[in-house]
């Protein structure tokens, strides 16, 4: 399963190439979702409702072409909600050496009742000079 966000400048031909490539790799599912607007982004990168409907009509066709033959699932479910939280703790060992621990949790729910929770952890250090 992969997760891809679609923005205004995403060409549908690129999505078709992605589907073909993932199908060749044997990936059994692809979650595509439009990037939704939020205030801190001032660039015009987000799709309008009409653009979402137009692009995702083709995405639905691609899903039938590339993924239906690989699965025996009888229905498609659409994303109902998606939430992510992130936290980081940084310890400054000295003015030039820092240790950080990151945690990320993604929680997705679909209209047919499916749920997916992903936890990510990262530990690293940074040296500045």
Task: Tell me the per-residue pLDDT of 75-117, one tens digit each, with 9 for 90 and over.
Answer: 566 777 889 999 999 999 999 999 999 999 999 888 777 888 9
Q: Which of 65, 129, 127, 64 is nearest to 97 (CA)?
A: 127
Note the pLDDT of residue 73. Answer: 47
Note the pLDDT of residue 70. Answer: 47
pLDDT at 119 over 60: yes
pTM over 0.75, yes/no: no
pLDDT at 63 over 90: no
Note the pLDDT of residue 107. Answer: 92
SS3 category, 17: helix
Of residues 26 and 125, more confidence is placed in: 125
Give the β-pairing of 79-92 and 30-34.
unpaired
Note the pLDDT of residue 67. Answer: 66
pLDDT at 68 over 70: no
Please, what's the largest Cα pairwise distance for the chain? 58
Give the whole-number percent of the chain exceeding pLDDT 70. Answer: 91
């Amino acid at each position: 399963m992969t997760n891809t966000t679609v923005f205004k400048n995403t060409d549908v031909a690129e999505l078709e190439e992605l589907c073909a490539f993932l199908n060749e790799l044997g990936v059994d599912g692809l979650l595509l979702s439009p990037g939704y607007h939020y205030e801190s982004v001032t660039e015009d990168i987000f799709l309008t409702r009409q653009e979402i409907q137009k692009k995702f009509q083709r995405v639905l066709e691609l899903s039938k072409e590339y993924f239906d033959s690989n699965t025996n699932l009888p229905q498609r479910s659409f994303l109902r909600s998606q939430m992510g939280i992130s936290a980081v703790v940084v310890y400054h060992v000295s003015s030039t050496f820092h240790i950080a621990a990151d945690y990320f949790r993604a929680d997705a729910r679909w209209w047919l009742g499916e749920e997916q929770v992903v936890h990510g952890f990262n530990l690293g250090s940074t040296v500045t000079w």
